[in-house]
Amino acid sequence: PWVDRISADTWRYLLLGLTLPVVGWAGRHFYIRAWQGIRHRAADMNTLIALGTGAAFLFSLATTIVDDWFVARGVSPQVYYEAVVWIIALVLLGNLLEVRAKARTWGALRGLIALRPATARVVRDGIESVIQLNKVRPGDELVVRPGESIPADGIILHGTSHVDESMLTGEPLPVRKQAGDTVIGATLNRNGAFHFRVTGTGQSTVLSQVVRLVREAQGSKPPIQRLADRISAVFVPVVILLALATFVVWFVTGPVPSYLHGLVAAVTVLIIACPCAMGLAVPTAVMVATGRGAELGVLIKGGEALERTGDIDVVVLDKTGTVTEGRPAVRSVQLVSHSAWTEGQVLQLAASVERLSEHPLGEAIVAETERRGLPLIPVREFTTSTGNGVTALVDGHQVVVGRRLFLEEHGVPSKVWLREEVSDQGQTPVYVAVDGSPAAIIGIADPLRATSAAAARSLRQLGLELVMLSGDDRRTAEAVARMIGVDRVVAEVQPAGKLDEIRRLQAEGKTVAMVGDGLNDAPALAQADIGIAMGGGTTVAVEAATITLMRSDLRGVVDGIALSRRTMRIIRQNLFWAFVYNIIGIPLAAGVLYPRFGVLLSPAIAAAAMAAS
């Protein structure tokens, strides 16, 4: 009963007092941004919110201060303060939901950063001590005990353990680590102790690079976002014109007081048409997708890469280090008939030459020779032909090691070689000749990754064409391709040949993804529509790629493509429903149902509908 004893004037001033903090403080940025947009001749969501709530607030302010003027003209002084408050509150609620979505995408990274210890156990001059993490420098020797987080990136010097890298790579099982293996800062050491040499601290660590890439990706715009922005730039002025037209129609044809009905209908049109859904449809999806990709160990460099990945037609796989583990080893040594050399002597001569080469197959020959305890012999007149072979004088003998064609170029006849059973077994043949005569074929095998066949099968199920590139001879490459189920093989290609193959596929109108890990893959990765670098690859390959897999597993390619396709489907659905909502909502707000059904939407209901969209 006491409510009835308070005058309408008092209520209006009370509501004004409650609304001012909402307009002047909580929602002030809407008006500031709208004014900045008008100064730059641009209109966006803030323009519609500012116009709608501003018109409702100013009209209510006028009826509060000069209510007698309205009464004298037969108009009851109505106020719409509650609509202003509801509109701003609901838009802010939408902003809050957006921020929460963004916060969730950073949850995994924040959790990983939180695992980074504040201190590190360092060994200097043979003395072990504990120092602050920010005092650790590259080259320091650190000690990690069971259950501790690894302080920085580095290479294990001695000791073995299993390291949980799941927060960074998405790999659920701990990874065995031993001397020579790399470790990543902030990952968790499980059950062993080891010493490692620091290679990266601060901003140079893998973790910092992951955070930077995810932040850049979430701040970038895919092409579909630019389309949505262009539509919004036209949409906002059109809505303003529709609101003005609504006011005019109500003013001319509406019931008394027609201008009041016209004003409320115009404000309702402005509010219900706020393109919140349109503005959030793309960036929120990109934000969540790139964050989810980081959780899966798939780093996507930007919104454009995210969008284009879903359009891939062909996936080109480099063999060594991608399909295989990239750890070649000698499996057999076949001596040529009537060879004057023993198996050990051939290995010793070949390894002495290959010691000066950086080719992975050469490293395998050197490693096998060292395993057998055979000493290496000094060489003279060493020459190399990248990807083909090497020559040198070893203990007075001219030794040539490499491809069959390379040996033919050096005058070694090819018809005397044995039948290449090693190629049929998936081994790469390396030919060795001494003093112009064939000596032996060394069979080198690089084991397949355990997940390569399953990943290839999943890629085919996605409707993708698979091509495998290899510098190996054709029979070896085809044997590996049969093992994983790839039909098309391009073998015996140099780095330039890989680049040409990518260009040829693109000339056929196909969208091509290249997956590689080595220095020689960098040109092809850069040329491909989407370059995907394996996490264990070289820095050059990772920099040239648009997607980096934090784990050396081809299933990451499947995850990346599936994530892109699902994200783009969600984005298109978001934009579709945003437009459908406006096509239905604007006529309702304008009062199209009023003549027949007497139904009108209030600005507050329009604000609720806009936020719900």
> Which residue among 44, 164, 318, 473 is the active-site one?
318
Contacts of 96 (CB under 8 A, 6+ apart): none
- 204-to-144, 156, 189, 211, 543 alpha-carbon distances in Å: 20, 18, 21, 11, 14
d(CA 613, CA 608): 9
Residue 365 has pLDDT above 80, yes or no: yes
Residue 538 has pLDDT above 50, yes or no: no
Determine whether 318 is an active site residue.
Answer: yes
Contacts of 153 (CB under 8 A, 6+ apart): 182, 183, 184, 185, 198, 199, 200, 201, 204, 205, 206
Q: CB–CB of 342/440 below 8 Å?
A: no
- 245-to-73, 267, 590, 609 alpha-carbon distances in Å: 25, 12, 9, 22
- pLDDT, one tens digit per residue, over 229-260 is 677 778 878 888 999 999 999 999 888 778 87
Which residue, 362, 178, 296, is CA-closest to 535? 296
> What integer pLDDT is reported at residue 104 of this predicted model?
62
- pLDDT, one tens digit per residue, over 570-611 is 988 888 888 888 888 899 989 988 888 888 887 767 767 776
For residue 150, the 8-state DSSP code is P
Contacts of 432 (CB under 8 A, 6+ apart): 346, 349, 350, 399, 400, 401, 438, 439, 440, 441, 442
- 26-to-33, 43, 267, 280 alpha-carbon distances in Å: 14, 21, 20, 21
Q: CB–CB of 328/476 below 8 Å?
A: no
* pTM of the complete model: 0.67
Confidence of residue 461 (pLDDT cuts 50, 70, 90): very high
d(CA 605, CA 74): 27
3-class secondary-structure state, position 605: helix
- pLDDT, one tens digit per residue, over 32-66 is 988 998 888 777 777 777 887 888 888 889 889 98
Residue 563 has pLDDT above 90, yes or no: yes
- The conformational region for residue 13 under phi > 0 = left, psi -120 to 50 = alpha, else beta, is alpha
More confidently predicted of 398 and 295: 398
Residue 185 has pLDDT above 90, yes or no: no
The token pair that represents 213 in the structure block? 């890439």
Alpha-helical runs (H) found in 177-257? 206-219, 223-253
